[in-house]
Amino acid sequence: MSFPIVRHRRLRSSAAIRGMVRETVLNPLDLIQPIFVTFGAGVKREIASMPGVYHFSLDTLKEEVDEIVSLGIPAVLLFGIPETKDAIGSSGFDENGIVQEATRLIKQWHPELLVVADTCLCEFTDHGHCGMVHTHTVDGVLHGDVINDASLELLTQTAVSQAKAGADIIAPSNMMDGFVQAIRAGLDEAGFEHVPIMSYSVKYASAFYGPFREAADSAPQFGDRKTYQMDPANVREAIREAESDVLEGADMLMVKPALAYMDVIRVIRDQFDLPLVAYNVSGEYSMVKAAAQQGWINEKAIVLELLTGLKRAGADTIITYHAKDAVRWLRE
């Protein structure tokens, strides 16, 4: 064999050496744990399509939050399921809405835990869309168009009500044009200029959201969300979406979903210098859980590899339903 011989394996010969030269390190501080809060009392109900994830009523929520804090996870992302819904999602911006009440309790129990409030209307509207809609019937079939600018007013009210309740970060996920600018202006006018916006900048119209729609009871009652969420085939459009949010005042950018969009994560990381969040969504979580329950995969190894891959692709922070398990495995 000719000299020199390149022996890459020298740096893989022991766990200690592999650890010394490891380029990407996953840390509990990188993770955000989503929580689903619902109405009622005494509710801790497992979501059928998301094993290990639960609906909590306000009176059962503390045990979950205490566990998250004990694990050193720095933040939670709140989703609310209200008792009543209407055409404009008014329970989403009600001062005593489910997300607002949950926020107040969490900040009372653990002031240091960051509360990220998902700012959207789909869980609160009776039609399941992310804003106001104009509906009409064609040949007996209900159709509807989401009204962009009128929806911004309601989304801004929602964001302000969440900030008033104590939310540390506003995370608008609605994909309306101009939503960051509208919410930033509304927050500033209400005296919350210090509250950052984690924008769902690049949110695709994805099939990976299925289990979430069961969890949040937010499936559209007609049509789909393809007129406002992005086409999965597009990446240059993602740059334009993110650029708009940067110019409108976003403090953090997000790519959602994560696994099928790691190329998009890398593109956004290379194009912009704001903190970047990847949302490891419900369908991605449920696929891993289902395969693990069948004994087809090593769940621990798969999850840690998956989350490390998202960091390697460029994500600074990862929203994931695996967060609690991942931290336990990282500590082993």
Which residue is catalytic, options 44, 164, 203, 289? 203
Q: Tell me the CA end-to-end span of the chain in Å, nearest whole number.
A: 42
Handedness of CA 288, 201, 232, 236 (dihedral sign): negative
Would you give the DSSP letter of residue 90? G
CB 277 within 8 A of CB 317: yes
Residue 282 annotated as part of some ligand binding site: yes
Residue 101 annotated as part of some ligand binding site: no
Residue 209 annotated as part of some ligand binding site: no
Residue 236 annotated as part of some ligand binding site: no
CA distances from 58 to 113, 114, 198, 217, 277 (A): 17, 18, 25, 18, 28
CB 275 within 8 A of CB 316: yes
Pair of tokens at residue 35: 């929580």
Rg of the chain, C-alpha, whole Å: 21
Residue 57 annotated as part of some ligand binding site: no
Residue 130 annotated as part of some ligand binding site: yes
Residue 241 annotated as part of some ligand binding site: yes
Which residue is catalytic, options 85, 256, 311, 324? 256
203 as an active site residue: the answer is: yes
Instruction: Please tell me whether residue 3 adopts helix, strand or coil conformation.
Output: coil
- HSE (side-chain half, CA atoms, 13 Å) at 31: 26
Name the residue type at position 79: F
CA angle (131 as vertex; 171, 268 as ends), nearest 5 = 40
Residue 204 annotated as part of some ligand binding site: no
The closest alpha carbon to 115, from 104, 126, 123, 125, belongs to 104
Residues belonging to the binding site for Zn(2+) are 120, 122, 130
Residues belonging to the binding site for 5-aminolevulinate are 213, 225, 282, 321
Known catalytic residues are 203, 256
Residues belonging to the binding site for Mg(2+) are 241
Residues belonging to the binding site are 120, 122, 130, 213, 225, 241, 282, 321
